[in-house]
Structure 1
Amino acid sequence: MTLFLPETPKVAFAASLGGNGLTKTTSGNQNLIYKDVLTNVGGAYNAETGIFTAPIRGVYYIRFTANGPTDFPMSAVLYKNSDSIQLIVHEQPSGEGSDTASNGAALMLEAGDTLSLQLWHNTQIWDNSNHHSTFSGFLLYSIRTTDTNAAPLPAPPHVNQRITLRQVSDGERPSTRPRGVRRCASFCYPPTSSPSGIFTAPVRGVYYIRFTANAPNDFPMSAVLYKNSDSIQLIVHEQPSGEGSDTASNGAALMLEAGDTLSLQLWHNTQIWDNSNHHSTFSGFLPSRHLQRLPALPHVK
């Protein structure tokens, strides 16, 4: 008997707000419709509504970027199914000039789940034909519900994590001490110990890792990515710049051996901030089949 497996659809989209100027609301939240489509493989993004609909159950990598003048609050808030906040970019005024901020994560979605961005009440966002403010994503891998009696097909482990800092109240001043990880919001393979905030690579391979930090501008901000607790891989670090708040992120494709660990530290005399809306995040995934060690070449004299 020949076994036919359904083909996994190819899904990738990227769109910009477009237009030529400011979008601002002072009378309630406003849906953001990214009309200038750059990519829409699979047609899962609707440029008329600004809504992405997951065609199948799986893990999707989603990222968005917001730009705006710094004389007024800026926001872009990612909602799932129109009611559950997944991620946020939100900055307070900091004087003259403009700023750009982004956030993103690997998200577990069911078929039919929707993602869209909103502009919060009394905030603004800006774009033009150069695509400052964008919304994009792609399917990393599908996760199918299989017959429990059927033998599993051999496959590399699916790895995906999204972690946010411990929830604090909106009015609480950020601490200069490292905060613990609040929860591991979604993963397909358990490579992370949620209470410790440590990601452990289950197999040798190239992983894409990204983290975002948010904090008020009145004190230094940091988030420093360490491998095996001692080797600095990447950093976000900003000096005080007055009033308001800021968001910064960093990321890279990193080669990890099985058992290598990644964790974030808050440097001495710095701060970071988060609440239940997920301003400060730690995310990563294994984008392709893991790499096996090749046998050593014979010594030739």
Structure 2
Amino acid sequence: MFMGTMWASIHYKRDANRPIALAAILLLILSTAHLIVDIIRLQDGFVKYRDIFPGGPVAFFQDISQPTFVTKNLIYALQTMIGDGVVIYRCYVVWQSVWVIILPSMLWCGSSVAALIAPYYASQATGGNVYTNQTRQWITALFTLTLSTNLISSGLLVYRIWTVERKISQNRATNGTMMPIVHVLVDAAILYSAALVTILICFICANNAQYIMLDMIMPIISIAFYMVLIRLTPWQTTPNFLPMAYSGEIERRSSQRYSMKPSQVHVSQWTQNDGIEEEVKTET
């Protein structure tokens, strides 16, 4: 999916795609780093410190002050900040208004603070449990804020494209539509939001399944990001469509693309004059 995203960004050489390509590279790096840290953490808990850590592997994985646990949460914090930031960026370039993204930006700042503070409190705990100290409060705030940021930004983005589609639907001369963009954005938002809701519920209920979902959401963030570009690429019919979807000129370009154009009609009529057929052509 990363390769497909990079192909789309390179194939459609527009300035608006440079931040998207950079975000795709960062998400790949962070997802890979998170996987490597997870492998190291498993090796430490089940092999390296199996017999020397007090309490064995169970106590090792419950210790939130372990460097591997703090590192993987820092990686998650950075990836969440990038993923939510891209959604807000898409919302801005489509609306071309700073006022629209004020609330999502405030939520993004709050979730970023929570994402950075939670690992700090985890690093200060000694053999602590994630459900019983200040880390719990900050992690709950993180999941709640990032869920709100994603839903609000995606909702504003979908609403903008939908309203533009309604305005031009009655004037277009072709059967083209921008509704597939809406479907893709909704799919991506639902995928990410469903994972966040599951993590939040597990965490509030002090269920250790939240650790499984936390490891799953790292690639889900990247997948939700990649699928938007990849799924739009086969659908688009002209090289100008994909950049248009992320441009502030979406309404103007859409109106130009689907505007009514004058056409010429050629009418041929055969007449017979003294046994000789003649063709008379008229144009309207």
TM-score, structure 2 normalization:
0.25
Greater gyration radius: 2
Higher helix share: 2
TM-score, with length taken from structure 1: 0.24
| Structure 1 or 2: more strand by fraction | 1
